[in-house]
Amino acid sequence: MCGIAGLFDTRGKRDFDRALMQRMNDVQHHRGPDEGGYHFEPGVALAHRRLSIIDLATGQQPLFNEDGSVAVVFNGEIYNFQELVPELEALGHVFHTRSDTEVIVHAWEAWGEDCVQRFRGMFAFALHDRNRDTFFMARDRLAVKPMFYALLPDGTLAFGSELKVLMQHPALDRRIDPLAVEEYFALGYVAEPRTIFLGAKKLGPGESLCIRRGQRIPEPRQYWDVRFTLHNDISLEEATAELTERLRESVRLRMISEVPLGAFLSGGVDSSAVVATMAGLSNEPVNTCSIAFDDPKFNESEFAQKVADRYRTNHFVETVKSDDFDLIDTLAALYDEPYADSSAIPTYRVCQLARKHVTVALSGDGGDESFAGYRRYRSHLTEERMRAAMPQALRQPVFGLLGRLYPKADWAPRVFRAKTTFQAMARDATEAYFHSVSILRGDMREKLFSADFRGKLGGYDALEVFRRHAASAHTDDPLALIQYLDLKTYLVGDINTKVDRASMAHSLEVREPLMDHPLVEWLATLPSGLKIQGNEGKFLFKKAMEPFLPSDVLYRPKMGFAVPLARWFRGPLKQRVRDAVLGETLATTGIFKRDYLQHLVDAHHSGARDYSSPLWTLLMFEAFLRNQGATCRVSPEGER
């Protein structure tokens, strides 16, 4: 796990400023505190910060092929590198290290752009091939590791592991992209390929970019996608047995390390399954880390303790106070662009705890998406059955009218919120799911944004993010569609972003066995009925884990990794929220309507509505703007 950075002259072979490269690399020191490395040649500058995990003695980067013509900087892990070494040696390649990084340069020489197809792991890397006069960069299939890049006005391509790396370059266009703001207030993050700044982009999941100097710069190429075929005619018994073996293989690969290794243990199904599997593969007790909360509504520690006791792990627990909100400004600096998942707070704390004991931690992230664990999946399927009973041409006008006329009841259980239900019935599946996951729905964003800012959007709606991915899903299955959407959006923009920044802030490597791409591909072949049966999500996963985990761990209601925002905003953070949301920082952007901001604050503080999620989203946007100072502004219409 590391930080990478670099510059490539797409037009010529200018020499790059070494001091600039050092600033770009130093700003991500937290990602790799063990070592730093550089490579300069005409038209190329590469930099690397190293967190040593494998081949501690000789794995320094940038790393080269035999004659030094190919140089690579790499962030992540190639878990199958030991299988690739003999194959590449048979083709005549000579290895000088025991590092997975060296596999990349030789695989590039052997297979070119298709080298990424051979890699199993989490990775973001960039390489320069002097003989081919080519620059190549790639990101892993599920976008566990980040890759930011920018094409600057003088033809320089800049890249880095975090947006703050690119922000060191004086030529980066740091005007705020209005479309990114729209996405942020809908989703809580800026979706790939956009960033908050007009001048920077993110490489998407399973994408690569190959640039040949002096030629037109192409769009990124998608080298992988998951296909929900659902055609696997397999029995429940066969599926549970195969899943258990696939999970064992995935965990085994991720336990390769030359430094202390452990796991997060929340007490939920996913992390508990990973720990149980690790225990079965290890001769030594597994190191496990948990965060407890002093608020019982958010505390899962007793279930984590049950798993720890069953497998006799070395279990480390720290209690987070329910008023642990001092991280707001820390998070704004950590994520570089607006990011509104409040579970970033406990995630930061559990990474902080884990780093006291281990350098590598396995997590259960990705399980909800592939195994269908989110409660919203079951709600969506119920609504889909209702929508299927009436043609769209009839549903839209009838339920659209009812949705506009019927009063809203935020206080009631979802099934009784007639206005919300009617609105959902009027939409197609993609739009309905988008609105179910939106922090501020379309009607709320309409009220939030000023007329001037809506003009800058030019009619753009963040729904287009979901529309674009839905067009590539190639499935009519209601569950498969929304799983695909989450794998392309929420998992990438929210979950992986949260874990990468929180872990790297503490120089901790996190590995995700449930995001092993062969496992994800296999699960996508299984019928949806094996994932949700009745009201039980993760049906297959829970059945497979029954011999290994207590029933009350497997079948209790899902709790999630949350913090008590609603109470904070009516109590200890009441004045801070009011000052931030109604203060000068947001007012001077011209983005928001003051009267609607006032409504959100007053209605929440009075208890009339729970606006904790929209208010947190505004709070983090305000913190982002303050962290950026006066160096960024919203782009006018037509300058995208």
Q: Which residues sit in the known binding site for ATP?
A: 291, 363-364
Torsion angle, CA of 8/13/19/21, rounded to 10 degrees? 10
What's the CA gap between 488 and 481, in Å, rounded? Answer: 11
What number of residues does the chain have? Answer: 640
Measured at the alpha carbon of residue 71, what is the angle toward residues 70 and 74, in degrees to the nearest 5? Answer: 130
Asked if 429 and 478 touch (Cβ cutoff 8 Å), the reply is: yes
Nearest of 462, 460, 488, 461 to residue 473 by alpha carbon: 488
Strand-pair category, 261-264 with 287-293 = parallel
What tokens appear for 547 in the block?
């011999």
What's the CA gap between 4 and 19, in Å, rounded? Answer: 16
Helix (H) or strand (E) holding 362: strand 360-362
What's the CA gap between 314 and 302, in Å, rounded? Answer: 15
Residues 6 or more apart in contact with residue 2 via CB below 8 angstroms: 31, 32, 48, 49, 50, 51, 61, 73, 74, 75, 76, 161
Residues 6 or more apart in contact with residue 97 via CB below 8 angstroms: 55, 58, 59, 63
Helix (H) or strand (E) holding 160: strand 156-160
How far are the Cα atoms of 295, 477, 522, 530, 637 from residue 231, in angstroms, in the given order? 45, 12, 11, 12, 47
Asked if 16 and 158 touch (Cβ cutoff 8 Å), the reply is: no
Q: Considering only the C-alpha atoms of the chain, give the largest distance between any 2 of them, rounded to a whole number of Å.
A: 73
As annotated, the binding site for L-glutamine includes 100
Beta bridge partners of 276: none
What's the CA gap between 324 and 302, in Å, rounded? Answer: 20
What's the CA gap between 197 and 176, in Å, rounded? Answer: 5
CB contact burial 157-179 (16+ within 10 A = b; e otherwise): bbbbbbbbbbbbbeebebbbbbb
Q: Could you list the active site residues?
A: 2
Burial class (CB in 10 A: 0-12, 13-18, 19+), 569: buried
Measured at the alpha carbon of residue 412, what is the angle toward residues 410 and 416, in degrees to the nearest 5? Answer: 105
As annotated, the binding site includes 100, 291, 363-364
Residue 143 phi/psi, 5-degree rounding, is 55, 45
Helix (H) or strand (E) holding 334: helix 328-335
Asked if 634 and 181 touch (Cβ cutoff 8 Å), the reply is: yes
Asked if 201 and 150 touch (Cβ cutoff 8 Å), the reply is: yes
What's the CA gap between 635 and 174, in Å, rounded? Answer: 9
DSSP code string of 261-276: EEEE--SSHHHHHHHH
Q: How many CB atoms lie within 10 A of CB 138?
A: 27
Helix (H) or strand (E) holding 122: strand 121-129
